[in-house]
Amino acid sequence: MNATQAAARPTASQTPHIGIVIGSIREGRFGEKPAHWIHELSKQRADISVELIDLRDHPMPLFSEPMSPAWAPVKNEAARHWGEKLGSLDGLIVVTPEYNHGPSAALKNAFDYAYKEFVRKPIAFVGYGSVGAARAIEQLRLVAVELQMTPVRHAVHIG
């Protein structure tokens, strides 16, 4: 393990800070229900801290940066705030719908607007909709691997 990896690991006095991302911005979305349920359950634990993150609070335009965030900082101010929020987290739980056999466009767009803030972070998924969003989650796992994240093996699927 190099010095950077050692510095990134939490010490006994630190608790991991996990973001629960509501991955839909639609009116009347279902995703708030499981996100709030997970948030309440998580607050009962002393070994982690949790935060609800609503994509509605991060209104980013469709990705149109001149370069990937892997190679250059993003120019859009809302996207920079999104990256700062991601940078403050140690891991993510993403609550995703399934629209037309895939994740919401807003969620995929949010993934596209960051890179370094995702690297080496664990990510878990809770899906809802057709077949419990299994296809959306499968696609998001592929994106997460490209972003050098560590997707957990199991997911929660709500039909």
SS3 content of the chain, % helix, strand, coil (to 5): 35, 20, 45
The phi-psi region of residue 153 (left if phi > 0; otherwise alpha if psi is between -120 and 50; otherwise beta) is alpha
Q: How buried is residue 22: exposed, middle or buried, by Cβ count under 10 Å (0-12/13-18/19+)?
A: buried
40 burial via Cβ count (<10 Å: 0-12, 13-18, 19+): exposed
> What is the phi/psi pair of residue 93, to 5°?
-120, 120
Q: Please state which of the ranges 6-15, 50-59, 103-112, 140-149 shows the lowest mean pLDDT.
A: 6-15
Q: What is the pLDDT of residue 17?
A: 97
- Segment 76-88 shows an average pLDDT of 97
98-125 residue pLDDT tens: 999 999 999 999 999 999 999 999 999 9
CA dist 83 and 78 (Å) reads: 9
The pLDDT, as a whole number, for residue 23 is 97
The Cα-based distances of 119 to 29, 31, 47, 137 in angstroms read: 29, 25, 22, 19
Q: Are 23 and 95 in contact (CB under 8 A)?
A: yes
Query: What residue ranges do the domains of the chain occupy?
Result: 15-153
Segment 52-60 mean pLDDT: 97
CATH architecture of 15-153: 3-Layer(aba) Sandwich (3.40)
**CA distance linking residue 74 with residue 48, whole number of Å:** 30
